[in-house]
A and B are shown apart, each in its own frame.
Chain A
Amino acid sequence: MTRRETSAELFERFRSNLTIRTLLKAIQREIKPLNRSLRIMEVCGTHTMTLHRSGLKPLLRETGVEMVSGPGCPVCITPDFYHEAIIDLVTSRRNIVVATFGDMTRVPTRKGSLQTTVPAAGSEIKIVYSPEEAQELARNRPDSEVIFFGAGFETTIPAIAFTVRQAASEGLKNFSLLGALWLIPPAIEAILQSGEVTIDGFIYPGHVSAIIGQQAYEFVAEKYGLPGAIAGFEPADILLGLLSVVRQIRQGQPTVANEYRRVVTFNGNQKARQLMAEMFEPFEATWRGLGPIKNSGLRLKKEWQSFEAREKFRLRFEAGRPHPAGCRCGEVLKGLIDPVECPLFARSCHPDHPLGPCMVSYEGACLIEYKYSSGAKRK
Chain B
Amino acid sequence: MCLAVPGKIISIEPNGTGKVDYMGTTVVANLSLLPEAKVGDWVIVHAGFAISRLDRQEARRTLRLFKQLEKLNSSD
Contact = CB atoms under 8 A, between A and B. Distances in A.
Contacts, number: 124
A234 B72 CA distance: 22
A211 B51 contact: yes
Q: Decide if the interface of chain A is mainly helix, strand, loop or mixed.
A: helix
Q: Most chain-B Cβ atoms within 10 A of its Cβ — which of A19, A130, A269?
A: A130
A123 B60 CA distance: 51
B2 A155 contact: yes
Nearest to B17: A132
Interface in B57-76: 58-63, 65-66, 69-70, 72-73, 76
Interface residues of A, number: 50
Interface string A15-49: 00011001101100000000000000000111001
Contact of A1 (B5, B8, B60, B72): B60
A155 B44 CA distance: 11
Contacts of B61: 261
Interface in B18-60: 22-23, 30, 32-35, 42, 44, 46-49, 51-52, 54-56, 58-60
B66 A19 contact: yes
Contacts of A331: none
Given A7-B8, A269-B34, A262 B55 contact: yes
Interface stretch (A112-120, A156-164, A183-191): A156-164
B69 A159 contact: no
Q: Most chain-A Cβ atoms within 10 A of its Cβ — which of B35, B58, B76?
A: B58
Q: Decide if the interface of chain B is mainly helix, strand, loop or mixed.
A: mixed
A10 interface: yes
B55 to A, nearest CB: 5
A13 B33 CA distance: 29
A192 interface: no
Interface residues of B, number: 38
A325 interface: no
A202 interface: no
A196 B72 CA distance: 39
A46 B4 contact: yes
Contacts of A130: 30, 47-49
A68 interface: no
Given A1-B56, A22-B66, A46-B2, A159 B34 contact: no
Give the 9 A-B CB pairs with smallest separation, nearest first. A130-B48, A233-B4, A262-B58, A46-B2, A210-B52, A261-B58, A262-B59, A159-B49, A159-B47
12 contacts: A7-B6, A7-B22, A7-B23, A8-B23, A19-B66, A22-B66, A22-B69, A25-B69, A158-B49, A233-B4, A271-B32, A272-B33
Given A7-B5, A22-B73, A49-B1, 19 more contacts: A1-B56, A7-B22, A10-B59, A10-B63, A19-B66, A50-B4, A155-B51, A159-B47, A159-B49, A162-B30, A162-B32, A162-B33, A206-B4, A261-B55, A261-B62, A262-B58, A269-B33, A271-B32, A272-B33
